[in-house]
Amino acid sequence: MNGAPSVGPMADWETSMMRAATIMDPDLAFNCGMIAHHMGAIAMAEAELHAGKDHASRAMAAEIISTQRKEIDEMTKRITALTKK
Protein backbone atom coordinates (compact mmCIF):
# COMPACT_ATOMS: atom_id res chain seq x y z
CA MET A 1 0.00 0.00 0.00
CA ASN A 2 2.41 2.70 -1.14
CA GLY A 3 4.67 2.07 1.85
CA ALA A 4 1.92 3.07 4.28
CA PRO A 5 1.78 1.06 7.49
CA SER A 6 -1.06 -1.41 7.77
CA VAL A 7 -3.24 -2.04 10.78
CA GLY A 8 -2.83 -5.78 10.09
CA PRO A 9 -5.03 -8.51 8.66
CA MET A 10 -6.92 -9.09 11.90
CA ALA A 11 -5.93 -6.43 14.35
CA ASP A 12 -6.55 -6.84 18.08
CA TRP A 13 -9.30 -4.21 17.94
CA GLU A 14 -11.17 -6.25 15.32
CA THR A 15 -11.04 -9.36 17.47
CA SER A 16 -12.26 -7.30 20.44
CA MET A 17 -15.15 -5.94 18.38
CA MET A 18 -16.18 -9.44 17.40
CA ARG A 19 -16.02 -10.60 21.02
CA ALA A 20 -18.07 -7.60 22.19
CA ALA A 21 -20.88 -8.72 19.89
CA THR A 22 -21.25 -11.87 22.00
CA ILE A 23 -21.86 -9.99 25.27
CA MET A 24 -25.46 -10.55 26.36
CA ASP A 25 -25.93 -7.20 28.13
CA PRO A 26 -26.66 -4.66 25.37
CA ASP A 27 -25.16 -1.73 27.30
CA LEU A 28 -21.91 -3.57 27.94
CA ALA A 29 -21.84 -4.90 24.38
CA PHE A 30 -22.29 -1.38 23.02
CA ASN A 31 -19.56 0.18 25.15
CA CYS A 32 -17.09 -2.68 24.65
CA GLY A 33 -17.72 -2.76 20.93
CA MET A 34 -17.37 0.99 20.58
CA ILE A 35 -14.08 0.97 22.47
CA ALA A 36 -12.75 -1.59 20.00
CA HIS A 37 -14.14 0.45 17.10
CA HIS A 38 -12.46 3.59 18.41
CA MET A 39 -9.17 1.72 18.84
CA GLY A 40 -9.37 0.87 15.14
CA ALA A 41 -9.98 4.50 14.27
CA ILE A 42 -6.95 5.51 16.33
CA ALA A 43 -4.78 2.89 14.61
CA MET A 44 -5.86 4.15 11.20
CA ALA A 45 -5.29 7.77 12.22
CA GLU A 46 -1.82 6.93 13.56
CA ALA A 47 -1.01 5.29 10.20
CA GLU A 48 -2.09 8.52 8.48
CA LEU A 49 0.14 10.61 10.76
CA HIS A 50 3.04 8.23 10.09
CA ALA A 51 2.80 8.18 6.30
CA GLY A 52 0.22 10.70 5.11
CA LYS A 53 1.23 13.79 3.19
CA ASP A 54 -2.04 15.73 2.94
CA HIS A 55 -2.19 18.45 5.59
CA ALA A 56 -5.99 18.31 5.96
CA SER A 57 -6.00 14.52 6.32
CA ARG A 58 -3.21 14.67 8.90
CA ALA A 59 -5.09 17.35 10.86
CA MET A 60 -8.23 15.21 10.80
CA ALA A 61 -6.22 12.19 11.97
CA ALA A 62 -4.81 14.13 14.92
CA GLU A 63 -8.30 15.31 15.90
CA ILE A 64 -9.67 11.78 15.62
CA ILE A 65 -6.95 10.47 17.94
CA SER A 66 -7.68 13.12 20.55
CA THR A 67 -11.46 12.76 20.40
CA GLN A 68 -11.53 8.98 20.28
CA ARG A 69 -9.18 8.67 23.27
CA LYS A 70 -11.49 10.89 25.34
CA GLU A 71 -14.49 8.82 24.30
CA ILE A 72 -12.67 5.59 25.17
CA ASP A 73 -12.03 6.99 28.65
CA GLU A 74 -15.73 7.86 29.02
CA MET A 75 -16.87 4.42 27.85
CA THR A 76 -14.36 2.68 30.11
CA LYS A 77 -15.83 4.56 33.08
CA ARG A 78 -19.32 3.59 31.92
CA ILE A 79 -18.31 -0.09 31.78
CA THR A 80 -16.94 0.16 35.31
CA ALA A 81 -20.19 1.67 36.51
CA LEU A 82 -22.31 -0.90 34.69
CA THR A 83 -20.38 -3.84 36.10
CA LYS A 84 -20.69 -2.56 39.69
CA LYS A 85 -24.50 -2.89 39.62
pLDDT tens digits for 28-56? 999 999 999 999 999 999 999 999 999 99
Alpha-carbon distance 28 to 21, whole Å? 10
pLDDT class of 77 with cuts at 50, 70, 90: very high
Alpha-carbon distance 82 to 34, whole Å? 15
Question: What is the reported pTM?
Answer: 0.79
